Amino acid sequence: MRTLFLLLIAAVPAATAADELPDYSSQIRPLMQKYCVNCHNEKKPQGELSLAKFTDEAAAMQARKVWLNVLHRVTGREMPPDDAPQPTERELDLLTKWTAGVVRKIDDATPPQPGRVTMRRLNRVEYRNTVRDLLGIEFELGFDPTRDFPADGAGYGFDNIGDVLSISPLHMEKYLAAAAQLIERSIVVDGIDGPRVWTIPANEVRVSSPTKPADSTGQWPTNWIAEIDVRQAGEYRINATISSKVASGKQAQMALQTEGSQPERFTFSRQTKANVVERKVKIVSAGRRQFWLAYQHEQNKPTFESGDAENGEIVVESLEVSGPYIAVDSLPASHQRLIIARPGPDKTRTQAAEEVLAAFLPRAFRRPVSATERQKYVKLFAAADRPEESFEAALALPLKAALVSPHFLYRVEAEQQGKDGSYSLNDFELASRLSYFLWSTMPDDELLRLAGEGKLTDPAVLEVQVMRLLADPESRALSENFVSQWLQIRGLDNFQPAAKQGKIGTRLRIGMASEPIYVFHEVLTKDQPLTQLIDADYTYANGDLAKHYKLPPLPEHEDKQKQIEKDKILRYSIPVDTHRGGLMTSAAVLTVTSHPDRTSPVKRGKWVLDALLGAPPPPPPPEVEALSEPTDPKLKQSLRERLEAHRTAAACASCHKRMDPLGFAFENYDVLGRWREKDGSLNIDASAKLPDGKELDGVTGLKGYLLTEKRAFSKALTEKLLTYALGRGLEPFDTRAVENIVTQTQADGDKLSRIVVGIVLSRPFRERSSVNP
């Protein structure tokens, strides 16, 4: 029996040496003439594949993709189609040997090169994490300047691909706005040297009244408004000097107020002179803000008519606003981290600014910054600096500028003159690659220090750093961003099941999305073998997901089930018969590979081929259905027409033969990934037969099968991780690096963490091809 996936996925049997390659012209071409070119010819190439044009081996050597495809199809027994003449075992062996061999020969003939990653813009996640670490601020509810960034384009299944991460005027607008909000949040720009005071004499107070505008006749306004440019969020005080003359038995009610705050009321019931009323208000963001004294209507009825001599009158003599009241000993941590110098007796404002920027810019640009470069930012400070304003107010401008600089927004890797068409990245470029790969953020102080000492290019140091970064909680960024895209479960957010399938509540959705990430993270950081990803004896769930799975309660929580926080994601050991464990039986995967109203064996099978085995089936042919439009049965079809229709069906069948059985193995899981024995009234049949005749019984059978195809899985995972790590699609010349990593990982006990180490130490990660190698 042929082993389907080993050949299919690993693609190239290890033992085939190039010198044993069967002769193309005398042995292989005749075989293809006999079995293939009837359909795959130049005139009307089925599946857009022509095998007629490869007249000799030299021509064949130009078409690696074609032979890889042929190898997959032939060894998978998908081609030739069932009702076409079949090659003999010997012929099949010859074909396999040659196609596998020629792919290897092409790879061997491809000059090794590390490849070129296109300069990457920080994607939204990376931007968020980077400003968080650079500025030392936290994103919290109601504060997320990145919320409205345009969605990042995706390529090769990931959203960190340099070629696809474009920038538009819309991005630029948002980056500018975000920079302003972020710096405003990070540093205090006003009030450090004491609160500012605005006194507004009565005649400059803006008054507004819907009915009675203020004039000189003593008419009464309803509101007295002071409009002030607030430079800094914080506590402000507003006070009013008021004289009142209220008739006996009457009351006047006034309130001091600002946007978004509750009014604080003052009641006047008799005669007062120059009475000062005051209240504290919190201003949450800088900008032009109104503070006002309002004449209160009680239940929409004034207690007295303003200016009504019979009832009394109120005279506002002045309004005064002061602030912000900043406690200098409790400035935010971000402020203390950024503003490391202030002007003083022995330091001019420009000198202090230069000190701040000399510390900030290298962290913002993730590399040393020359004095010339820095001077531009110092100049920007100097131009904005006003002696009457605070030092920080002017400093905010160059800080904002740094956040929209190409050196910040892009991960720049400078072009070098390479030897032999490629060059090694410098220490700082490497620090960024490492940090964005494992943490999705800027390099930390230790990485920058090592880079500064020139040590990071040392593989031994690099490996220690990989392990340090993986052990740090920040490495969850890798698990989150990689796994959610590798498994294609980001679509879960928008998945709306049909009503009869039930609902996915918010907590269940969170539980579903988290499970595969937590499992991957444990395998990664606890040095477990990657086979755990296929079949683990544990999983993670929050309250709702545990219920969804009908998981038995955790022993340690048995007595106090009710007390388990439903939000908390806990680790569960998987008893036999719970049908869980491993990524592919997670509800998230099973749901995103379903239609809203029914399961889709096709989607699920395709998912296994794509995500786990790295052998996605080709897309359906274009306008596929056009060919299968039902013809009028009254018209008699010609033999040719019927053959056409048959071939079309065969073209579909060849892929569905691979996808569908793998998908049927999941039939015991419903649209939302719950276990089921029946679909409606029908018993579930989860048995499946692979194209090579191998039979699987349900997911247990599939898991067992995948475990025997460990190398294929390891290779697929390595390819995805390498794509994510580099931020570019893989090219044929990367095959060697991938194979090396897979082999090395196998030798190291198949630990997932070794794949990560292997990637970081690989040539594509540490080097770059020159533009014209």
Partner 1 sequence: MIQQHPLSRRATLKALGAIVALPWLESFAQAAEVKPPVRLGFCYVPNGVDWRRWHLEESGPLQKLSPTLSPLDDVKQDLLVFRNLALNEGRDHGDGGGDHPRATSSFLTAAHAYKSFGKDIRVGGISLDQLAAQRRGHLTRLPSLELACDRPTSPGMCDAGYSGVYRNAISWRTPTSPVPTELNPRLVFQRMFGTNERGKSRATSSVLDLVMEETKTLNGSLAGADRRKLDEYLYSVREVEQQIQKAEAFPVKELPPGTVPPEGIPPEVPDHIKVMLDLVALAFQTDTTRVASVMFAVGGSDRAFPFLGISSSHHHYSHHERKPENLDALHAIDKFYVSQFGYLIRKLKSIPEGAGSVLDSCLLLYGSPLRDGNLHDRGDLPILLAGSGGGAIAPGRAIQYAAETPLANLYLNMLDVFGIQEQRFSDSTGRLADLRK
Touching partner 1, residues 177-206 (CB under 8 A): none
Task: List phi, psi (to 5°) of 272.
Answer: -130, 155
**Smallest distance, partner 1 to C-beta of residue 395, A:** 13
Place of tokens 């630029």: 172
Q: Per CB under 8 A, does 172 bind partner 1?
A: yes
**Smallest distance, partner 1 to C-beta of residue 616, A:** 5
Q: Which of 577, 625, 632, 677 binds partner 1 (CB under 8 A)?
A: 625
Q: Which of 23, 48, 458, 695 binds partner 1 (CB under 8 A)?
A: 48
Q: Which of 622, 636, 677, 680 binds partner 1 (CB under 8 A)?
A: 622
**Smallest distance, partner 1 to C-beta of residue 712, A:** 16
* Residues in 543-602 at the binding interface with partner 1, rule: CB under 8 A: 595-597
Q: Per CB under 8 A, does 498 bind partner 1?
A: yes
Q: Per CB under 8 A, does 414 bind partner 1?
A: yes
Q: Per CB under 8 A, does 348 bind partner 1?
A: no
Q: Which of 139, 410, 538, 733 binds partner 1 (CB under 8 A)?
A: 410
Q: Which of 247, 382, 412, 461 binds partner 1 (CB under 8 A)?
A: 412
Q: Which of 138, 173, 259, 697 binds partner 1 (CB under 8 A)?
A: 173
Q: Under 8 Å CB-to-CB from 556, ≥6 apart: which residues?
A: none
**Smallest distance, partner 1 to C-beta of residue 199, A:** 23
Report d(CA 620, CA 656) in Å as an integer.
10
**Smallest distance, partner 1 to C-beta of residue 163, A:** 5
Distances (CA, A) of 437 to 137, 247, 445: 22, 75, 16
Alpha helix ranges (H) inside 504-638:
506-525, 543-549, 587-592, 601-607, 624-628
Q: Per CB under 8 A, does 376 bind partner 1?
A: yes
Do you know the residue count of the chain?
Answer: 773
Taking the least distance from each CB to partner 1, the nearer of 111 and 630 is: 630
Yes or no: say if 572 and 499 are a contact pair by the CB < 8 Å rule.
no
Tokens of 383: 């131009």
Task: List phi, psi (to 5°) of 52.
Answer: -80, -20
Taking the least distance from each CB to partner 1, the nearer of 27 and 600 is: 600
For residues 101 to 120, the per-residue mask of contacts with partner 1, x marking binding by CB under 8 A and - elsewhere, is ---------------x-xx-
Q: Which of 57, 278, 373, 474 binds partner 1 (CB under 8 A)?
A: 373
Closest CA to 158 of 129, 128, 117: 117
Report d(CA 158, CA 397) in Å as an integer.
34
Yes or no: say if 189 and 390 are a contact pair by the CB < 8 Å rule.
yes
Neighbours of 617 (CB within 10 A): 18
Q: Per CB under 8 A, does 94 bind partner 1?
A: no
Q: Per CB under 8 A, does 41 bind partner 1?
A: no
Report d(CA 231, CA 365) in Å as an integer.
27
Place of tokens 């229709």: 645
Q: Per CB under 8 A, does 374 bind partner 1?
A: no
Q: Which of 215, 629, 632, 677 binds partner 1 (CB under 8 A)?
A: 629
Q: Which of 1, 327, 576, 771 binds partner 1 (CB under 8 A)?
A: 771
**Smallest distance, partner 1 to C-beta of residue 496, A:** 4
Yes or no: say if 353 and 338 are a contact pair by the CB < 8 Å rule.
no
Size of the site for partner 1 (CB under 8 A): 79
**Smallest distance, partner 1 to C-beta of residue 586, A:** 16
CB burial string 9-42: b at 16+ within 10 A, e below:
bbbbeeebeeeebbebeeebbebbeebbbebbee
Yes or no: say if 190 and 231 are a contact pair by the CB < 8 Å rule.
yes
Report d(CA 67, CA 424) in Å as an integer.
33
Q: Per CB under 8 A, does 610 bind partner 1?
A: yes
**Smallest distance, partner 1 to C-beta of residue 135, A:** 17
Q: Which of 342, 347, 374, 407 binds partner 1 (CB under 8 A)?
A: 407
Q: Per CB under 8 A, does 171 bind partner 1?
A: yes
**Smallest distance, partner 1 to C-beta of residue 159, A:** 6
**Smallest distance, partner 1 to C-beta of residue 400, A:** 6
Taking the least distance from each CB to partner 1, the nearer of 53 and 694 is: 53
**Smallest distance, partner 1 to C-beta of residue 261, A:** 21
**Smallest distance, partner 1 to C-beta of residue 571, A:** 28
Report d(CA 484, CA 476) in Å as an integer.
12
Q: Under 8 Å CB-to-CB from 78, ≥6 apart: which residues?
A: 72, 654, 655, 657, 658, 691
Q: Per CB under 8 A, does 333 bind partner 1?
A: no
Q: Per CB under 8 A, does 499 bind partner 1?
A: yes
* Residues in 266-305 at the binding interface with partner 1, rule: CB under 8 A: 288
Report d(CA 203, CA 213) in Å as an integer.
14
Beta strands in 202-247 (DSSP E): 206-208, 223-230, 234-246
Closest CA to 361 of 352, 371, 348, 349: 371
DSSP state of 419: B
Q: Which of 260, 368, 406, 732 binds partner 1 (CB under 8 A)?
A: 406
Report d(CA 686, CA 35) in Å as an integer.
34
Name all contacts of 571-577 with Cβ < 8 Å and 24+ positions apart. 571/518, 571/522, 571/538, 571/539, 571/540, 572/538, 572/539, 572/540, 572/541, 572/546, 573/537, 573/538, 574/536, 574/537, 574/538, 574/539
**Smallest distance, partner 1 to C-beta of residue 704, A:** 25
**Smallest distance, partner 1 to C-beta of residue 286, A:** 11
Taking the least distance from each CB to partner 1, the nearer of 452 and 621 is: 621
For residues 226 to 255, the per-residue mask of contacts with partner 1, x marking binding by CB under 8 A and - elsewhere, is ------------------------------
Tokens of 338: 């950024």
* Residues in 379-398 at the binding interface with partner 1, rule: CB under 8 A: 380, 383-384, 397
Closest CA to 314 of 300, 299, 293, 298: 293
Taking the least distance from each CB to partner 1, the nearer of 606 and 754 is: 606
Taking the least distance from each CB to partner 1, the nearer of 478 and 686 is: 478
Q: Per CB under 8 A, does 163 bind partner 1?
A: yes
* Residues in 469-488 at the binding interface with partner 1, rule: CB under 8 A: 485, 488
**Smallest distance, partner 1 to C-beta of residue 423, A:** 12
- Give the interface segment with partner 1, choosing from 64-72, 513-521, 606-614, 705-713 (CB under 8 A): 606-614
Q: Per CB under 8 A, does 453 bind partner 1?
A: no
Q: Which of 344, 575, 620, 749 binds partner 1 (CB under 8 A)?
A: 620
Q: Which of 85, 169, 387, 633 binds partner 1 (CB under 8 A)?
A: 169
Largest CA distance in the chain: 119
Report d(CA 721, CA 176) in Å as an integer.
33
Neighbours of 453 (CB within 10 A): 10
* Residues in 688-707 at the binding interface with partner 1, rule: CB under 8 A: none
Q: Which of 71, 100, 164, 277 binds partner 1 (CB under 8 A)?
A: 164
